[in-house]
Chains A and B, each alone.
Chain A
Amino acid sequence: MTKKPGINQAKADNQVDTNIKSNNKNSNGTIKKAKMSKSTRDNMITYGIVPIAFIIVQILEAGNLISNLMSGLLVSFCIYIILAVSLNLTVGILGELSLGHAGFMCLGAFTSAFFSKCTVDVITFAPLRFILALLIGAAVAGLAGILIGLPVLRLKGDYLAIVTLAFGEIIKNVINALYVGRDQNGFHASLKDALSLNMTDDGEVIIDGALGIIGTPRDSSLLVGVLLILLTLFIVLNLIKSRDGRAIMSIRDNLIAAESVGINITKYKLMAFSISAALAGVAGVLYAHNLNSLAATTRNFGYNMSIMILVFVVLGGIGNIRGSMIAAVVLTLLPELLRGLDKYRMLIYAVVLILMMLFNWSPKIVAWRKQHTTRYFINKIFRRELKPANIDQNTADQNKGGQ
């Protein structure tokens, strides 16, 4: 079990290298054409994984080969993938650490569930209602991203991290204390309790404080999730490839240099941050419509969730979209696969997490791994000498890739 994610990870690592290499080359006009095709091919693989995985799951489901528990998790996979890919936009592409991603997801979830619950009798055509809810959830989360990002993105590094964490907690706690009801006079809101809404008799409480929203129509399904993943990938991968994406990455690589060539730092930081927030809102919409009752708890929208998403991103390779997807699935699956170990599963999960981080990132282990590749063993068996220059080249590449 410990082996499998390791292999995925090693693949993902190489992916980071190639990604960064191709980024470097992209800016260099002469080799652009050849490399563009490589990045397009890379993107095609990233897109391709999703429908292939979907088809495999459909076949397995038709053959009754997956357990009930697992099929219940399928939409969760989609949610986590969208979250991981969108956070990677902030962390990997923009290069800023955000610990408030769950807050944006929370906003998307609650606004969309609110909308769906209010219009469930008005708009009876479910797909249309869901699309509208999706747009609203994404727009509100994205808007919150702009409002929060505008003052906060001036901060750097760990300060930004702690402020985003604070915003995430604020959003969660405010929603937990929020009561919204509707009666013939319109909407009423209160931060105290349901009684202070002062509604007439026909009034209905829609957001009931810590109990949240009950009775959201369950419009999410695996197909919807997969489509939304593809949409997210389309937005993020195209952004990375575009002129704007290169501007964002230049801010990550060297802020002062980017500023001095006339890149509007605030604009591009806000662009990446708000798109990332809007996509987190999309994941929230998917989440809200996958459950009957939606409540903001520490488990689903607290900082632990934000950290969990960050774990996906870092383990999958910072800046590597495909890696984020794989890590999200593997790490969501891992505790379920370890369920047989009962009490020990989260302990093992923690150990695996630490070991994976050490295996992937410790400079000594990485250097050792680069030397002990398959080729090394083949050479050893056939008693061939390894060219020292070859190893040096590998480690140099690795160092460059890690930056």
Chain B
Amino acid sequence: MISFISYLINGISLGSIYAIIALGYTMVYGIAKMLNFAHGDVIMVGGFTIFWTVSTQGMSPLIAIPLAVVLCTILGVTIEYIAYRPLRQAASSLVVLITAIGVSYFLQNLALLIFGANPKSFDSMIPVPPMQLLDGQITILGETTVTVISCLIIMGGLSLFIKKSRPGQAMLAVSEDKGAAQLMGINVNKTISLTFAIGSGLAAIAGLLLCSAYPTLSPYIGSMPGIKAFVAAVFGGIGSIPGALIGGLLLGIVEILGRAYISSQMADVIVFLVLILVLLIKPTGILGKKLQEKV
């Protein structure tokens, strides 16, 4: 029972990271209707920025983290401007997908060139002491606490931002109907840029949390969590912010429990099987809207 609870806590911690990454996917998908395959690599860039500023430049994490967020934000907006915007009117949505894959290769190989293929060990930047529960039977790491709390803050803040602020409302409008939003005087290009900015800024935070929880850093670190987070976004219903939270948490818990109780090799198989089952029962995810077919 005790071990079950500690696995559950690990699962929630991993799930919170997935949820933050999934937010980036889900927001971009909701607005631009594209799978941003490069999102996972923006996470990697965020991780490397923090690593580089702290380890080699000796800066304080308090400077390094905002720096990484700003850099990733700029990166995300630049990627959108150069690689995705010219193709937004293109006939097939596959085209942007392939370009995103190209961007993903580009970022991976750039990092490979600069930092080399050897994994770097990443010192945790989180100075929170571990918590002891039930007379020390369960230990909650500082990283876990910070991850879960920051995930909840980000979710709450983002929901408020979208519900209450004008740019947030504009995002909602653009995701509903681009043409109509434009007619109402919303600057669609700016709104999409803002979405990419928020998503990429969150990716930097996700990079920090991911590298603190799993302290190695390599150019390919973002790709598998990226795919998993995308699965989480689909799980919860892509385009929905609470869906990303639910999907992320569920995925993290399933993965950790599967690894602990069934087989470590088969953990991914279990994750993907659950995804398929969910999609077969509810084809648009747990919180997904039902798609209407127009004749």
Residues of A within 8 A of B (CB): 91, 97, 151-152, 154-159, 161-163, 165-167, 169-170, 173-174, 176-177, 191-192, 256, 303-304, 307, 310-311, 314-315, 318, 343-344, 346-347, 349-351, 353-354, 357-358, 361-365, 399, 402-403
Could you list 8 further interchain pairs (A-B, Cβ under 8 angstroms) beyond the known A97-B94, A156-B291? A158-B238, A159-B279, A170-B268, A310-B94, A314-B92, A347-B113, A351-B102, A402-B92
Point out the residue from A151, A165, A310, A364 that lies within 8 Å of B280, measured CB to CB.
A151
Point out the residue from B91, B98, B106, B283 that lies within 8 Å of A351, measured CB to CB.
B106
How far, in whole Å, are A299 and B284 apart by their CA atoms in the complex? 30
Pairs of residues from A and B, 7 with the lowest C-beta to C-beta distance, nearest first:
A402-B91, A166-B272, A350-B106, A350-B105, A353-B102, A362-B86, A354-B102
How far, in whole Å, are A318 and B223 apart by their CA atoms in the complex? 26
How far, in whole Å, are A53 and B238 apart by their CA atoms in the complex? 46
From DSSP, what is the main secondary structure of chain A's interface residues? helix
> A163 touching B279 by the CB < 8 A rule?
yes
Residues of B within 8 A of A (CB): 29, 35, 37, 83, 86-87, 89-95, 97-99, 101-103, 105-106, 109-110, 112-113, 223, 227, 230-231, 234, 238, 263, 265-266, 268-269, 272-273, 275-276, 279-280, 283-284, 291, 293, 295
Contact count A vs B, C-beta below 8 Å = 133
How far, in whole Å, are A288 and B92 apart by their CA atoms in the complex? 34
Nearest CB of chain A from residue B9's CB, rounded to whole Å: 26
> A347 touching B95 by the CB < 8 A rule?
no
> A361 touching B109 by the CB < 8 A rule?
no
Nearest CB of chain B from residue A145's CB, rounded to whole Å: 15
22 A-B pairs (CB sep. < 8 Å)? A151-B280, A154-B283, A158-B234, A159-B234, A159-B279, A169-B268, A173-B268, A173-B269, A177-B265, A304-B223, A311-B98, A314-B97, A346-B112, A347-B106, A349-B109, A351-B106, A353-B101, A354-B83, A361-B87, A363-B89, A365-B86, A403-B91
By beta carbon, the residue of chain B nearest A348 is B109
Point out the residue from A314, A353, A365, A399 that lies within 8 Å of B94, measured CB to CB.
A314
Point out the residue from A344, A354, A361 that lies within 8 Å of B113, measured CB to CB.
A344
From DSSP, what is the main secondary structure of chain B's interface residues? helix
How far, in whole Å, are A166 and B235 apart by their CA atoms in the complex? 12
Point out the residue from B103, B112, B263 that lies within 8 Å of A177, measured CB to CB.
B263
Contacts of B102 in A (CB 8 A): 350-351, 353-354, 357
Nearest CB of chain B from residue A284's CB, rounded to whole Å: 20
A176 and B265 in contact, given A151-B280, A346-B105, A402-B91 (Cβ under 8 angstroms):
yes
By beta carbon, the residue of chain B nearest A91 is B94
> B293 touching A256 by the CB < 8 A rule?
yes
Contacts of A307 in B (CB 8 A): 37, 101
By beta carbon, the residue of chain B nearest A151 is B280
Nearest CB of chain A from residue B218's CB, rounded to whole Å: 13
How far, in whole Å, are A343 and B95 apart by their CA atoms in the complex? 27
Point out the residue from A167, A176, A311, A361 that lies within 8 Å of B101, measured CB to CB.
A311
Contacts of A170 in B (CB 8 A): 268-269, 272-273
A364 and B230 in contact, given A346-B109, A354-B103, A357-B102 (Cβ under 8 angstroms):
no
A361 and B231 in contact, given A158-B35, A350-B109, A354-B102 (Cβ under 8 angstroms):
no
How far, in whole Å, are A158 and B276 apart by their CA atoms in the complex? 13
How far, in whole Å, are A155 and B93 apart by their CA atoms in the complex? 17
> A303 touching B95 by the CB < 8 A rule?
no
Contacts of B103 in A (CB 8 A): 350, 354
How far, in whole Å, are A3 and B20 apart by their CA atoms in the complex? 41
Contacts of B29 in A (CB 8 A): 158
Nearest CB of chain A from residue B62's CB, rounded to whole Å: 33
By beta carbon, the residue of chain A nearest B99 is A357
Point out the residue from B95, B109, B276, B279 that lies within 8 Å of A357, measured CB to CB.
B95
By beta carbon, the residue of chain A nearest B29 is A158
> A318 touching B92 by the CB < 8 A rule?
yes
> B265 touching A361 by the CB < 8 A rule?
no
Nearest CB of chain A from residue B293's CB, rounded to whole Å: 7
A177 and B99 in contact, given A162-B231, A358-B87 (Cβ under 8 angstroms):
no
By beta carbon, the residue of chain A nearest B86 is A362
How far, in whole Å, are A169 and B267 apart by their CA atoms in the complex? 11
